[in-house]
Amino acid sequence: MCMRDGAGASLRRIVAVALLSAAVPMMAVAAPNLGRPAMPEEVARWDLSVFPDGQGLPQGRGSVADGAAIYREHCVSCHGAGGRGASAEELAGASHRLTDPSPDKTIGSYWPYATTLFDYVRRSMPLNAPASLDDNQVYAVTAYLLHLNGILPEGSEIGRDSLPRVVMPNRQGFIAVDGGR
């Protein structure tokens, strides 16, 4: 039933494919073709991905100050004051380097991309009410967490254009093993 195995294809099958192709344009392979086309607005609603180059980031912005307030309300109970960790992991305040026997893997010491913060907070956090923060609030929390890690100054803000430009301290800290490109 696979029509990609050209070596064994009979003339009759080739003719059948040609006829099928003529009748249904764009059909590249032999398969049931039961999916329905996704409309661009559907894809936009469905798509949560944020890439390191900023692709997928929504319009919006948020400040370190606003992020601090949101953190106190939604994050501190699990991640602790100043991101020092509680029932959930520490996010800031690394005191041991990555080469130490007991390294601290915080956002500032370990995470290679700042865009990951937006992608992760928007899709997964807070754990007890995911998707409850709007995009500006996610930008604000992102800004605050970058500030806690000494990457953004107090009084600053972050948005769609500036977030992908943040260079994380451990940007060069990873070696791709099976997925190198």
C-alpha 161/C-alpha 164 separation (Å) is: 7
Q: Within 10 Å of residue 149's Cβ, how many Cβ atoms? A: 22
Closest CA to 58 of 71, 70, 44, 69: 44
Token digits of residue 178: 């099976």
Q: Which residues in the 76-115 window bind other proteins by CB under 8 A? A: 78, 87-88, 97-99, 101-103, 105, 107, 110-113, 115
* Count of residues in contact with other proteins, rule CB under 8 A: 55
Task: Note whether 53 binds other proteins by CB under 8 A.
Answer: yes
Task: Please say which residue, 115 or 136, places its beta carbon nearer to other proteins.
Answer: 115
Task: Note whether 25 binds other proteins by CB under 8 A.
Answer: no
Task: Please say which residue, 113 or 144, places its beta carbon nearer to other proteins.
Answer: 113
Is 159 strand, coil or helix? strand
Question: Dihedral through CA 56, CA 60, CA 63, CA 68, nearest 10?
Answer: -70
Chain residues that interact with other proteins, rule: CB under 8 A: 1, 26, 28-29, 31-38, 42-43, 46-53, 78, 87-88, 97-99, 101-103, 105, 107, 110-113, 115-116, 119-120, 123-124, 127-128, 130, 173-181
